[in-house]
Amino acid sequence: MNGAERILVVILSSALAVFLLLSIVAVILVIKILNHVKKAAEKAEHIADQAGAVTEFFQKAAGPVAIGRFLANIAEAAFQKRSKSKSSKEE
């Protein structure tokens, strides 16, 4: 090998070493980013599960609440009717 070939080999081997180092760093960063994305996805899934549980709770509670409102409306109407009849008798 003459001088020019040796210089080319040194330059190419240096470029390859730099490329390999940059590739390793890039792979490590991509792995870290993917781990963060995975954690965020797990948190989002957990929040969605909680929202589903809350929705299920309200669906189960909607029937008794509706009955309670119905009874409250009947009681309110009865009391209003009674108070109107008392006030009309007083006049």
Its sign, for the CA torsion 23, 28, 33, 35, is: positive
Q: C-alpha distances in angstroms, 43 versus 33, 36, 40, 60, 66?
A: 15, 11, 5, 26, 34
pTM above 0.75, yes or no: no
Write out pLDDT tens, residues 23-80: 999 999 999 999 999 999 999 888 888 888 777 777 777 777 778 787 888 888 877 8
